[in-house]
Amino acid sequence: MEVSNFVLLALTGILAASVPLALVWTATGTNKYRKLAWVIAFFTFDLIVFGGFTRLTDSGLGCPDWPGCYGEANPFLAHAHIAAAEALMPTGPVTTMKAWIEMIHRFLAMGIGFMIVGLMAASWLEWRRARARAGKPAHGPLLPTVMFLWVCVQGAFGAWTVTMKLQPIIVTLHLLFGLTLLALAVWLGGREDKLMAPPRFSPVAAPVSVLRRLRPLAWLAGAVLLVQLALGGWVSTNYATLACSDFPLCNGQIVPEMDWQHGFTLWRELGKTAAGHYLPFSALTAIHWVHRNFALVVVLVLGYTAWRAWRLPGLHGTARNLALVLAAQATTGIATVFLNFPLPIAVLHNAGAAGLVLLVTMLNYKVQYQLELALRSPRREAATSASHP
């Protein structure tokens, strides 16, 4: 890729970031850092949903090189190459529409990357100012720096997704890293915003013992969700969504014929076994069947977690939303099979997965935050009583 095209591509990414950055800068209020953190979370959610749309429309190779499109900065400049490829194979991986879908996905990713650079720079500048005046920085630079390093890794996996021709393990990790970036952004937003007004803690309002029992349960919900996201990504990247054509049975059986070895061999080409042969349909059935059945575990664990958090002050809204999104996610998953994989339902299912990550992260943050306040509150009361006998 020529330097001029690379510069033009970078300018496009800066332009994508400039609009939300300008909105944050001109917004009312003083805490623009917090607003930028939530804007990054919002656009990361959008990127994940659009990435799902890119994958579901088979647009991942709409531009078969990286970071540009046939060495150009956008599909306009690469029109001749795209038209030639489309004429050669009209239903192939390269069409004008698919090229634009893929490049819009990349432009949005670059915009988020530049926003994270701005967030990290702001946090380090604040840290230097605080150090100069021997004070505590208002915004710690560690988490924004981790986000910056993470988005760099995510960009590398985005490149490998294209150059390694949609190898399933690479695409699945690309999805998981994107969801992790969303979790980091939400946690940062929660830390800056506190997500709630500090409640008054009392043994009745928010018992420390209840919060202590809820915290490992919230962690478990996150771990179970992570496993299901990996399984769901493996289903999507192997195109195994319709390997089971009915529900609740799978091809008319409770336990259908399944090829576990080839289905869960991680390092292999798309549609091939590790030996280079075509992947048998029974391998796709195994991939789908495991994801479908582990969904029951997810519903039970996340549903129980939401029920336990529902009755606690400051957690009711998040628990309610978690229960609603969980129910919607199960519904879209079943509808995808019954309706023979319609694109809007499949995109909603991807959005639901991102929504669960957002809500489980928020719940974990709120439980941690409330527990810390609850543990500090008795000490403050004891200190106040000691100073005012």
HEC assignment per residue over 266-289: CCCCCCECCCCCECCHHHHHHHHH
| Global model pTM greater than 0.75 | yes
Q: Are 19 and 143 in contact (CB under 8 A)?
A: no
Burial (0-12, 13-18, 19+ Cβ within 10 Å), 136: exposed
Give the pLDDT score at 206. 60
When pLDDT is averaged across residues 234-259 and rounded to a whole number, the result is 94
Candidate list 2, 72, 86, 102, residue with the active-site label: 102
Give the pLDDT score at 379. 52
Encoded tokens for 309: 């958090």
Name, in order, each residue with C-beta under 8 angstroms of 123's C-beta and a sequence gap of 6 or more: 33, 137, 139, 140, 141, 144, 145
- The band of 377, judged by pLDDT with boundaries at 50, 70 and 90, is low
Count Cα neighbours of 15 within 13 Å in the Cβ-side half-sphere. 9
When pLDDT is averaged across residues 6-31 and rounded to a whole number, the result is 88
Annotated catalytic residue 192: no
Give the pLDDT score at 378. 54
- The band of 382, judged by pLDDT with boundaries at 50, 70 and 90, is very low
When pLDDT is averaged across residues 131-141 and rounded to a whole number, the result is 78
pLDDT score of 300 more than 90: yes
Q: Kindly report, residue by residue over 62-109, the tens digit of the pLDDT.
A: 999 999 999 999 999 999 999 999 999 988 999 999 999 999 999 999
Number of neighbouring beta carbons within 10 Å of residue 353: 25
pLDDT score of 384 more than 50: no
Percent of the chain with pLDDT over 70: 93
**CA dihedral defined by 269, 272, 277, 283, rounded to 10 degrees?**
140
When pLDDT is averaged across residues 14-37 and rounded to a whole number, the result is 87
Give the pLDDT score at 203. 44
Q: For the chain, give the longest Cα–Cα distance.
A: 88
Residue with the bigger pLDDT between 22 and 380: it is 22
Distances (CA, A) of 389 to 127, 202, 303, 379, 381: 40, 21, 47, 16, 12
Residue with the bigger pLDDT between 201 and 157: it is 157
Q: Indicate the average pLDDT of the chain.
A: 90
Give the pLDDT score at 205. 52
pLDDT score of 2 more than 90: no
When pLDDT is averaged across residues 1-16 and rounded to a whole number, the result is 89
Residue with the bigger pLDDT between 6 and 293: it is 293
Give the pLDDT score at 334. 94
Distance CA 363, CA 371 (A): 12
Give the pLDDT score at 31. 80
Amino acid present at 183? A
